[in-house]
Amino acid sequence: MYEFYLLDIDNTLLNFDAAEQESFRKLMESYDIPFQEDLFTRYKEINKNLWNLLEQGKIDKPTILTGRFREFFSSLELDINPSEAEHRFQNHLSDGKEMMPNAEEVLRCLKDAGKKLYSASNGVYATQIRRLKIAGLFHYFEGMFISEKVGFEKPNIGFFDHCFNNIKDFNKTTTIMVGDSLTSDIQGALNSGIASCLYSPTGNNPSLKATHTISDLRELLSL
């Protein structure tokens, strides 16, 4: 049914939650700050709020990448350079190669079936590329659409227009966006008029906006 697959990366193909926690732990260690769950929770709340503003078009990516650690360390009354902290964090994050269940199997089967696969991510370009490469997934893709290079963030229609304009023999009716985020992946697909598939491993996040909802990536093979 579908020929072109736009695939989110974080928590769709690669386990971002695990990579994020390990990267935060290493960052704290680099500043001689003991890792504590409440500190990680504080950071995630700050980060989530900033990403929400980004998806609404109210701030840009650089504001997030320095602002999250500026706000976090300020809340601890620590004078730590936020740009340096972000650099250290991204270095650790780029080593996060743990895959979501069945990710490689599904990519291999889709590619063997002649499907055209493209990444579609709001992440940091260099970090996402390195993670896909060290996870052994990079070669499955025909192209990489990552917001830092595209110039727009999901769910902005500009992101999807860029994708459509750079896919050979593109056909909107046979294209699907696959991801775990209602606000960026599913809303973006809705904005741009293509089908969508919400990946919800817990099965607790159904959406009437999504064309399909799956809890196992292998379900993509029967869509």
Catalytic residues: 8, 10
Instruction: Strands of the chain (E only): list them.
Output: 4-7, 116-121, 143-146, 175-179, 195-199, 212-214
List all residues 6 or more positions away from 165 whose beta carbon is below 8 Å from its beta carbon. none
Nearest to 111 by CA among 141, 91, 145: 141
Q: Answer yes or no: are the C-beta atoms of 53 and 67 closer than 8 Å.
A: no
Q: Which structure tokens are listed for 164?
A: 């459509």
Q: What length is written for the chain? A: 223
List all residues 6 or more positions away from 93 whose beta carbon is below 8 Å from its beta carbon. 19, 20, 23, 124, 127, 131
Over the range 49-86, which residues count as b (16 or more CB within 10 Å of their CB) and which as e?
ebbeebbeeeeeeeebbbbbbbbbbeeeeeeeebeebb
CB-based burial of residue 170 (10 Å sphere; 0-12 exposed, 13-18 middle, 19+ buried)?
Answer: middle
SS3 186: helix
